[in-house]
Amino acid sequence: MLYDLRTYRCRPGTIGKQLKLYEDMGYEAQCRHLGMPLFYGTVETGDVNSYVHMWVYENAADRDARRTALYGDPDWLAYRDRGAEFGYQIEQHNTLLRPTSFWASGLGAGQ
């Protein structure tokens, strides 16, 4: 498995607007190609102008194929264009993660 952790930082006072834009224009298109995210949420402590989401792929080739399809979707491109117009997001950080050999994958593992 390959986990894609994405962190986005927004200009102060705009995170609600960014999340609403994504909910209205981006979420459905993204899920159509990437599947449902493992997690999508806002930062509670630390940089509270940030939000994170995590996607799960079989491997790098699966990630590449799904993201290629996503960037061929006119709905996704319209969302990206609108987001660029508003400029709410100011920073993006992506981390690709692989589970360790001793971690049982899946929610609730080890509980």
- What pLDDT is recorded for position 106? 56
Sequence letter at residue 84: A
With tokens 């590449």, the residue in question is 64
Percent residues over pLDDT 70 in the chain:
93
Q: How confident is the model at residue 86 (pLDDT cuts 50, 70, 90)?
A: very high
- Locate all alpha helices (DSSP H) within the chain, ordered by sequence: 15-21, 27-34, 60-70, 74-86
Q: pTM score, two decimals?
A: 0.87
Span 45-55, average pLDDT? 96
Residues 6+ apart with CB under 8 A from 79: 21, 22, 25, 26, 29
**Up-side HSE of residue 104: CA atoms within 13 Å toward CB?**
5
φ, ψ dihedrals at 97, nearest 5°: -125, 145
pLDDT over threshold 50, residue 111: no
Domain boundaries, the chain: 2-97
Domain range 2-97, CATH class: alpha beta
Please give the distance of CA 47 from its chain centroid, rounded to a whole number: 17
Q: How confident is the model at residue 101 (pLDDT cuts 50, 70, 90)?
A: confident
